[in-house]
A and B are shown apart, each in its own frame.
Chain A
Amino acid sequence: MVGLLCLSALQAQERIAISGSISDLLTGETLAGAVVYLQSDHSTGVSANAYGFYSILLSAGESDLVFRHMGYESQTVHITETTDITLNIQLKPTTTTLNTAEISSELENENITTHQMGAEKLQIKEVRKIPVLLGEQDILKTLTLLPGVKTTGEGSGGFFVRGGNSSQNLILLDEAVVYNPNHLLGFFSTFNSDAIKDVTLWKGTAPAAYGGRISSVLEVRMKEGDLNDYHVGGGIGLISSRLNVQGPIVKERGSFILTGRRSYADLFLKLSSNDALANNQLYFYDLNAKANYKIGKKDRLFISGYFGRDVIRFADRFGIDWGNTTGTLRWNHIWSDKLFSNTSLIFSDYDYRVEINRDVDDFSLTSIIRNWSLKHDFQLFLNNKNSLDFGFQTIKHTITPGQVEVSEGSDIVPTELQNRYAWESSVYVANTWKPNKQWNINLGLRGTHFGLTGPGDFYSYENGNPIDSVHYATGELAASYFNIEPRLSIAWLLSESQSIKFSLTRNTQHLHLIQNSNSSTPTDIWIASSNNVKPEIGDQLSLGYFQNFQNNKYQFSIEAYYRHMDNQLDLKNGAEIRANEHIEGELLYGIGRAYGLELLLKRTKGNFTGWVSYTLSRTERQIEGINQGNWYPARQDATHDVSIVAIYSLNDKWDISATWVFNTGNAVTFPSGKYEINGEIEFYYTERNGYRMPDYHRLDLGLTRSFRKNDRYESSLNFSLYNAYGRKNAYTIDFEEDPDDPTKTTAVMTYLFTFVPSITYNFNF
């Protein structure tokens, strides 16, 4: 480390380092990913890190530096310095309205030059005009319009990346894990678009700094708040409303942002003539808060948090509520013009509580997963060809699998399952190396140790029955795993507008979601790797070709991937997962594989923007005890998946947009026969996921009218029509007695939404 610093100091004698931060001229919000390059030689360039910090080396003497970021006017600075300098740049937004129809990378051909592949980045303002269900903008829903990312339809939460399960996505909100990103069964996500700055999704190819899930990393970053001026903004929709306040704490030094959102779907229940329905509750709310303060020129502190909750209650008889809480305290420090660090202390928690009010007693079940984490990341800009990222993270996990509480006099015995404690520690180092104009290489290595510790009793199982138990004291290791995760990605530039990329990645996962079903429900249970449950390992190989046309107006990419997954879990038929001490005895183990081809064509400039994406893929599992041990398609396996997104700006007042999606129906298990037992007709199943749901397709339309009274006040009205041609997409298919002919059985499909119009009013001043 010290050696490296000396080395870079030596090199700096011939060259000068320009470093600083890049931010928005109006709000002071830092611009992560903004690029800096030499006007005379575009290949001499760097991009700003997640906190807007950059460092570039130049030959002493005169030169022109260009600073660029999507949605901002680029700025050229003439440099005449002969020594290292700090140069903080503020870029002016191209437009201050909500409307930016531009969808482009920071550097126009950055998609070609970066070594990253399988990465999707969205700025929140890009998604505003895409039509959505009930007018609630949703970053997760927009992500599913990209190749390789899919949902399993309405009302089933979560998203699936390249054949992984929804629980194999690492979802980070300002670095804190969000265990359940869904509100209202997945109709909405926990990410309030007012609070979000940008979103990056790595489809199994994340840099070495990330780890812990085998399928993807979704990094969501919250806005920092305006450093210069106070603003109030919000939106009023049919199902929910939002409000946000932001402004400086001390002008140009510190700022804050507070956002809130609440749904009021249950108010419609009150209109119901049915008393039983009118007494029910169904709503969610969430709050995001963030503040930051610059201490001197080299330090900046950030504190951010999220709190969200869903509540469902049936007429005093049954209730469930669940939610995530996260908190992040960050300290940015600039050690030198080449060394930047960020230290974070992170908290995250997910819990649910089920309450049942019986006639004789009240009974509740609570389950919690919580972690505290310390993370220290360094970025060392060695020279324009080399940069190093390195750091460590240590996480303390506490899982409370189930606590049963009862009212006095109940026949249920209050039960508390033993908490599980684990330490997950990792170190990583990654080198980005651009030896010349043609190559951009990132080689990273991550080592992760996972230790499950006492206090507690740990069982071993045979045929699902506990055969032995060992007690471990506090801090004693009950199970321990160490894995090395190599990450390699290479871009080979054939020209300024063409490149071939390759990546090889290993990810491991130590927290496993136990799902009674394939769609996530709030009461799914997380368990840790243990003496019985081995860590999940995902290995992915991908190859891609990228090309831009017509001066980067069109971006085209084709990527192929193959992923192998070890130690995949499933439940035995009829397994008991609630408050079950022996849940590990209910598990089945196996492997998975996924492969596919992803095509994307984007138009990024002009009045007409959008993209067409197509994915051809296959996802299979082989688990002992299921389907006679044969490979079978995972539920989210969809052969074809197409999304078309089109946004057209008529003028500065009107925008119209449309999206169309199509995918092969999910793999599903249908009966192949029937029989009678105990006087009832039951169904006979021969193979797992041997059938397909009907194909899913849907067209959504959107229309946005923007109003601008003066520089300060702006507003817009958004109309959308979900499922514009009323396709009846199957939500469930049930098999039952034919109502017209009791000697027959028939299949009945339930579908949810046809023609859902909505209107949302957004404002900001």
Chain B
Amino acid sequence: MVLILLTITFLGCTEELDLDLNSSDPQVVVEANISSSEGTQVLLTSSVNFDDDNDFPVVTLADVTIEVSDGNTYNLPEMSPGRYEMESLICEPSKSYDLEIQTGSKLITARCVVPTQVPFDSLIVEKIEGETAGGPGGGFGNGTQYRIKVQYNDPAGQPNYYRFVVFKNGSFESSTIFDDRLSDGQVNTNTLLSFGINLSSGDSLEVKMQCIDENVYDYYNSFGNLFGGPTNASTPANPYTNLNGTKLGYFSAHTSESKSQIIPN
């Protein structure tokens, strides 16, 4: 991957290309989250053809229910078109959650088990001194480069999966996933963006730590491996999904803990 980036950096030139791509049947796209702190949101949209505008129709009037392993079933109301939410429904570790979506004749189901919550010990934000951010391409714009690190103590003897989401001034910046395949039972200090992030004083930075289940990790991981990569080299495919009844999207029931910092002068 890095090798290919390097090659392109040195030798590559780019040009827009007119390709004749096939049309595809619209697929229902499910973005379903139950968090331990932010309640439940299910967003239903539809895929469009590649040549169409980036205008993704929402799926309205669907019947969305969540069944919890304690026996309770909740019907999610459609709060705005395509958006089915229940702020009061928060998830708890080791309970399982069954999602069922009925839209027209289409039935989509998924199950997710909430993993053990691992505490978010600390968020470390460091100014990158001296060096310009290394790596191909070099320049990363103006402003000061910061490195974001997170620290947590991985519980030994069980597989754990983590997702960290970075927000800058309230808007999504990036997300990074980790497993404990090579760091089981250790105090982990992980850098979130290897080439740093551009921040100015006064910027607010929020990092959310989610403990996710294996299927959800696989979803994000297959995205990471497929998306954007050296397109010509790896064979792109739709990411793994834990949904039955559609190919696109995911259902994640996860714990969530957040830490924030304001960048000082």
A residues whose Cβ falls under 8 Å from a Cβ of B: 155-156, 185, 274-277, 279-280, 282, 312, 314-318, 320, 358-360, 404, 411-413, 415, 516-519, 521-522, 573-576, 579-580, 635, 668-679, 681-686, 688-691, 693-694, 728, 730-735, 737, 742-754
One of B62-70, B85-93, B183-191 at the interface: B183-191
A296 to chain B, nearest CB (A): 51
A201 and B27 alpha carbons, distance in the complex (Å): 48
* Known A-B contacts A672-B24, A733-B231; A359 and B239 likewise in contact (beta carbons under 8 Å): no
Q: Is the CB of B27 within 8 A of A671?
A: no
CB neighbours of B218 from chain A (8 A): 574
B189 x A752 contact (CB < 8 A): no
Is there an interface contact between B234 and A517, defined as CB atoms closer than 8 Å? Answer: yes
The answer to whether B134 touches A743 (Cβ under 8 A) is no
Determine the residue in chain B with the shortest Cβ distance to A317.
B134
By the criterion CB–CB under 8 Å, are B50 and A672 in contact? yes
> A731, B232: Cβ atoms under 8 Å?
yes
Known interface pairs A317-B135, A751-B15; 20 further A-B residue pairs with C-beta atoms within 8 A, sorted by A's residue number? A156-B233, A274-B138, A276-B134, A276-B138, A315-B134, A359-B126, A521-B3, A671-B21, A673-B26, A684-B238, A688-B235, A688-B237, A689-B235, A693-B232, A732-B233, A735-B50, A735-B231, A745-B54, A752-B7, A753-B11
How far apart are the CA atoms of A316 and B135 in the complex, in Å? Answer: 10
Q: How far is the CA of A686 from the CA of B52 in the complex (A)?
A: 17
Residues on A with C-beta less than 8 A from B17 are: 694, 730, 733, 747-749
The smallest beta-carbon distance between A333 and chain B, in angstroms, is: 46
Question: Does B6 lie within 8 Å of A312, measured CB to CB?
Answer: yes
Shortest distance between the CB of A634 and any CB in chain B (Å): 10
* Complex-state Cα separation, A280 to B250, whole angstroms: 40
Segment at the A interface, from B108-116, B205-213, B222-230 = B222-230
Which residues does chain B contribute within 8 Å of A672, judged by CB atoms? 21-24, 49-50
For A743, what are the chain B residues with a Cβ–Cβ distance below 8 Å?
Answer: 53-55
B-side interface size class: 35 or more
Any chain A CB within 8 A of the CB of B79?
A: no
Interface SS, B side: loop
Which residues of A sit under 8 angstroms from B190, Cβ to Cβ?
A: 411
Chain B positions near chain A (C-beta within 8 angstroms): 2-4, 6-8, 11-19, 21-24, 26-27, 29, 31, 45-50, 52-56, 126, 131-136, 138-139, 147, 149, 172, 175, 181-191, 194, 218, 221-228, 230-240, 247-250
Contact of A413 among B147, B182, B231 (CB under 8 A): B182
Q: How far is the CA of A41 from the CA of B247 in the complex (A)?
A: 72
By the criterion CB–CB under 8 Å, are B12 and A677 in contact?
A: no
29 pairs across A/B with beta carbons < 8 Å? A156-B232, A276-B133, A276-B134, A314-B134, A411-B183, A521-B3, A522-B3, A573-B225, A574-B240, A579-B182, A668-B232, A670-B21, A671-B21, A675-B29, A676-B29, A678-B31, A678-B175, A683-B236, A684-B248, A688-B237, A690-B22, A731-B12, A731-B232, A732-B231, A733-B231, A733-B232, A748-B16, A751-B15, A752-B12
A573's contact among B31, B133, B222, by CB below 8 Å, is which? Answer: B222
A516-B50 contact given A574-B226, A675-B45, CB 8 Å threshold: no
The CA-CA distance from A672 to B48 in the complex, in Å, is 9
Question: Smallest CB–CB gap between A684 and chain B, Å?
Answer: 5
Q: How far is the CA of A676 from the CA of B54 in the complex (A)?
A: 9
For the complex of A and B, 8 pairs with smallest distance between CB atoms: A574-B222, A732-B232, A517-B233, A672-B24, A675-B47, A673-B24, A315-B134, A517-B234
Could you tell me if B132 and A275 are in contact, using CB atoms closer than 8 angstroms?
yes
Given contacts A574-B218, A750-B13, whether A413 and B233 have CB atoms under 8 Å apart is no
Complex CA gap A689/B237 in Å reads 10
CA distance A499 to B225 in the complex (A): 52
Within 8 Å CB of B233, what residues of A? 156, 517-519, 521, 732
Interface centre among B4, B24, B50, B221 (most CB of A within 10 A): B50
Complexed CA–CA distance, A730 and B8 (Å): 12
Q: Is the CB of B236 within 8 A of A676?
A: no
- Is there an interface contact between A415 and B24, defined as CB atoms closer than 8 Å? no
The 8 Å CB contact of B237, one of A359, A685, A694, A747, is A685
CB–CB B27/A675 < 8 A: yes
Note all chain B residues with C-beta closer than 8 A to A678: 31, 172, 175
- Distance in angstroms from A271 CB to nearest chain B CB is 12
Tell me whether B19 and A733 are in contact (CB under 8 A): yes
Q: By the criterion CB–CB under 8 Å, are A674 and B188 in contact?
A: no
Q: Is the CB of B12 within 8 A of A412?
A: no
A280 to B16, CA, bound (A): 30
Q: Considering only CB atoms, which chain B residue lies closest to A519 in the complex?
A: B233
Cβ 8 A contact of B234, one of A317, A516, A690, A750 = A516
**Contacting A674 at CB < 8 Å: which of B19, B48, B228?**
B48
Given contacts A519-B233, A635-B235, A748-B16, contact A573 B240 (CB under 8 A): yes
Closest to A414 in B: B182
Chain A residue contacts of B135, Cβ below 8 A: 276, 314-315, 317-318
List B contacts of A317 (CB < 8 A).
Answer: 134-135, 194
B246 to chain A, nearest CB (A): 10
- Which residue in A360, A671, A746 is a CB contact (below 8 Å) of B236? A671
Shortest C-beta distance, A272 to chain B (Å), equals: 9
- Min Cβ gap B11→A in Å is 5
Q: A185-B7, A412-B183, A684-B248 are in contact. Are A674 and B54 (CB under 8 A)?
A: yes
* Contact present for B54 and A732 (CB under 8 Å): no
Chain B residue with Cβ nearest A153: B232
Chain A residues lying within 8 Å of B188, measured Cβ to Cβ, are 411
CA distance A683 to B183 in the complex (A): 33
CB neighbours of A669 from chain B (8 A): 235-237
With contact pairs A676-B29, A684-B27, A684-B248 given, residues A744 and B53 touching in the complex (Cβ less than 8 Å): yes
Question: What chain B residues lie within 8 Å of A681 (beta carbons)?
Answer: 54
Q: Report how far A731 CA is from B7 CA in the complex, Å.
A: 11
A356 to chain B, nearest CB (A): 9
Q: Are A745 and B15 in contact (CB under 8 A)?
A: no
Output the nearest chain B residue to A690 by Cβ-Cβ distance.
B22
Chain B residues whose C-beta falls within 8 Å of the C-beta of A735 in the assembled complex: 50, 231
CB distance from B68 to the nearest CB of A (A): 24
Q: B14 contacts A750, CB within 8 Å?
A: yes
Given contacts A411-B186, A683-B50, contact A314 B2 (CB under 8 A): yes
Given the complex of chains A and B, what is the CA–CA distance between A744 and B175 in angstroms? 24
Looking at the assembled complex, report how far the CB atom of A551 sits from the nearest CB atom of chain B, in whole angstroms. Answer: 47
Q: Is the CB of A573 within 8 A of B48?
A: no
Within the complex, which residue of A277, A413, A733, A748 is in contact with B183, where a contact is CB–CB below 8 Å?
A: A413
> Do residues A676 and B191 form an inter-chain contact, with CB atoms below 8 A?
no
Q: Which residues of the other chain, B, contact A359 by a CB distance below 8 angstroms?
A: 126, 147, 149, 191
Which residues of the other chain, B, contact A730 by a CB distance below 8 angstroms? 17, 232
B138 touches A751 (CB 8 A): no
Which residue in A519, A574, A732 is a CB contact (below 8 Å) of B225?
Answer: A574
With most chain B CB atoms within 10 A of its CB, the pick from A579, A735, A742 is: A735
Chain B residue at smallest Cβ distance from A357: B134
